[in-house]
Structure 1
């Protein structure tokens, strides 16, 4: 169990996977170059519990679980299930936003970069 895991959050596995991928220097450099931002992801699970993670894709190139969200370039607020769909490419960030399922605080352009990061570490074969 990694220190990124949070009970009842399916996104934990994806965020752990992202953090593990960022340990590869090539992937880390690509993500830092693509995003150039510190993102906070605040998720709410089925039980109504909230948990936040910080994706530092500006300096450190890592993911941390936090209890309170510090100042970041952008904060994404959504349901755990929606985040999992977004990270897996089964949901569109714009559609989630338009439907009110995704709230963005801060730099909107930085928010759109996160989808590209998950695509670049996607272990599924590219068709």
Structure 2
């Protein structure tokens, strides 16, 4: 497993924090998250230098966060900028607003994308 952080991405710390929270979850907490969310999110994040990194948040099978494409296939792919991901996680903007303004694009199960907010907020509460 490669290092989860990506140089040049502000959201790297956020993803690393999310990973740490997932690793701290007890098996029961993990199962609760999986039951509630039941999805694999693939985040394709682009920074100001137009570099792209892919992170996967698996809240369907294993309850883990890792850098790279989703294995198995993601239920939803979310394409957004580094800044938009930071704004989503901090609560400055919500997913629906970001989607409507074109700051966030999805491929796959769009309704599942709405659950990303809850995953980020739940993890933030644990940090």
TM-score (norm 2): 0.88
Which stretch of the first structure deviates more once superposed, 22-31 or 86-95?
22-31
SS in 1 for 2:5: coil
Contact 1:21 1:27 in 2 (8 A): no
SS in 2 for 1:121: helix
Q: Which segments of 5 or more consecutive residues in structure 2 lack a partner in the other structure?
A: none
Tell me which residue corresponds to 1:31: 33
Please provide the CA RMSD for this pair: 1.9
Tell me which residue corresponds to 2:100: 98
Alignment deviations for residues 57-89 of structure 1 (CA, whole Å, 9 cap, x no partner): 1011111101x5662100000000100110111
Contact 1:21 1:28 in 2 (8 A): no
Alignment deviations for residues 5-56 of structure 1 (CA, whole Å, 9 cap, x no partner): 0011111111111111112125423321221011100000010000001111
Q: Distance in 1 between matches of 2:90 and 2:33?
A: 17
Q: Which segments of 5 or more consecutive residues in structure 1 lack a partner in the other structure?
A: none
SS in 2 for 1:22: helix
Seen in structure 2, the aligned counterparts of structure 1 residues 27 and 14 have a Cα distance that, compared at 3 Å, is: farther
Match of 1:47 among 46, 49, 66: 49
Tell me which residue corresponds to 1:14: 14
How many pairs align?
123
Which stretch of the first structure deviates more once superposed, 114-123 or 71-80?
114-123
Q: Distance in 1 between matches of 2:55 and 2:5?
A: 10
- Richer in helix (by share): 2
TM-score (norm 1): 0.88
